Structure 1
Amino acid sequence: MSTGTPGYGPPQNNGYPGAGQPYGYGAPQPNAAQPYGYTPPAQPGVSVGDGMSWAWSRIADNAVVLLVGFGLWTILGRLGAEASFTLNGVEYHYGLGIPGGGIISFIATLISPVVLAHVALLTSSGRKADFKDFFTFPNFGQTLLALILSSLAIGLGAIFLIIPGIILYYLFTFVQYAAVEHNLEATAAMRYSMRLLSDNVGVLVPFALVGFLLHLAGAVTVIGWIVTGPLVALMTTYAYVRVQGRDVARYPSQG
């Protein structure tokens, strides 16, 4: 497992700084003048249609790696899933029944957002992800802490009043992307995500609604999740990159 800090800068031929920039895409490092590398709100032309079209094009460009890699983490996150229902007075239970499946699912659900954000950011920069990238966890400790703190805040908001939980879920959508790309500490990544999403509500709420519907559609079967998982992740990455005033790579991926 790798926990290094890769650069996500696209190749020179797309007009961006080269790979290896410590904060990705050549974004400025955090300082008093520009906290956490924050840039102006969304540029015109950011749309769900364009985001979905771009996401499909990236999946088609590297289908085997992306579908298998995302699918692997999807399956690991659901090994412990069990359910029951009653039909004609008879109770039925189903689940994979794998020993330790619940523990595996818990760990996979906890850490998968780190690696999937890394893969999606690589893809958005114009580089073709490899299978090893699905076992790379940049800025792992702080990203994981940011995800845990965000989940606790969302959970508390949902317990006391449903609406605050939904609002916090929306505001923390970009937490893992900010932590992975900019190598931020946990609370800084949370603030970065909240600022981006609160400043671009009109642009980003439609992405959130479409993402929710796609996840709902994928929930019917694991196979559905294998397709909708990478699609939603890449659409979210598209939105994250675009609202910072940059564009995603639109040419064939480079290895």
Structure 2
Amino acid sequence: MPGYGAPQNNGYGNYGNTGQGNGYGASQPYGYPSPAQPAITVGDGLSWAWSRITDNPVVLLVGFGLWTVLTGIGVEASYTVNGVEHSYGLGIPGGNIISLAAILIGPIALAHVGILTSSGRKASFRDVFTFPNFLQAFLAILLSRLAILIGTIFLIIPGIILGYLFSFVAYAAVERNLGVTAAMRYSMRLLSDNVGLLLPFALIGFLLYVAGAITVIGWIITGPLVALMTTYAYVRVQGRDVARYPSQG
């Protein structure tokens, strides 16, 4: 991608380098040539995401689930039915701080896990708490979330648009070792240049999150499913394919 340079290695090795230099080493096993890549579709993304979950279910379901719990620890809400007020929340001391921290640093670890998975490597629980390019990724996510919050508070629609455009910020910072503004610009460029391909992923991802919220326990499945679909979209829209064979440790 011109203007950003080749991504850095990040210490993960090339693991069967295909010459694409993505730093996580997406490749075909045993040196066979890459097959023709399928079209970028939500169906293919869902199928791939589910195949990766079944390939490494304990780490992906439990690992993503832990971050989901951490982001929700500080959530408290109330509603009134027939004049009776009901409230829910864990009421854990410092829960809001824990949730805020998880919202800002969780995407770094989950992007790392997603990119490892897309390259054909089997993620471990250690990867679930690994934060490559931490400072730059953290600041990029912080600025992105602030922009989304401001846009949502004032006009709502700008917040939704920015939420879409910043969907790849963590992935860009982690995989390509980019700085704060470069990661934000890279995400915006990928998503704005490929609206027709990527908007359906955003819509389906939103619906899956809603489904998970309604059933609560459904988040165990929808959380990692949406994250891996996002990984799929990020990798595929750059012209690379995701690993479609059993993961290698």
For residue 164 of structure 1, report the CA deviation from its aligned partner.
1.7
Aligned residues: 231
Unaligned runs of 5+ in 2: 1-8, 27-36
Per-residue Cα deviation, 1:159-188 (whole angstroms, up to 9, x for no partner): 332222211111111000000000000100
Secondary structure in 1 aligned to 2:67? helix
CA distance in 1: counterparts of 2:153 and 2:168, whole angstroms: 22
CA distance in 2: counterparts of 1:205 and 1:8, whole angstroms: 32
For residue 8 of structure 1, report the CA deviation from its aligned partner.
6.9
TM-score, normalised to structure 2, is 0.87
Change (3 A) 1:79 1:160: closer
> Could you say which structure has the greater relative contact order, defined with CA pairs below 8 angstroms and 6 or more residues apart?
1
- In structure 2, the residue matched to 1:16 is 18
8 Å contact kept, 2:73–2:96: yes
For residue 96 of structure 1, report the CA deviation from its aligned partner.
1.3
- In structure 1, the residue matched to 2:96 is 102
- In structure 2, the residue matched to 1:30 is none
Residue identity (%): 71
TM-score, normalised to structure 1, is 0.85
CA distance in 2: counterparts of 1:228 and 1:75, whole angstroms: 13
- In structure 1, the residue matched to 2:166 is 172
- Indicate yes or no: 2:127 matched with 1:133: yes
Change (3 A) 1:44 1:201: farther
8 Å contact kept, 2:151–2:159: yes
- In structure 2, the residue matched to 1:250 is 244
Change (3 A) 1:213 1:126: same
Secondary structure in 2 aligned to 1:220? helix
- RMSD of Structure 2 on Structure 1 (CA): 2.0
For residue 81 of structure 1, report the CA deviation from its aligned partner.
1.5
Unaligned runs of 5+ in 1: 27-42
- In structure 2, the residue matched to 1:90 is 84
- In structure 2, the residue matched to 1:73 is 67
Secondary structure in 2 aligned to 1:252? coil
- Indicate yes or no: 2:206 matched with 1:212: yes
Letter aligned with residue 251 of structure 1? Y
- In structure 2, the residue matched to 1:195 is 189
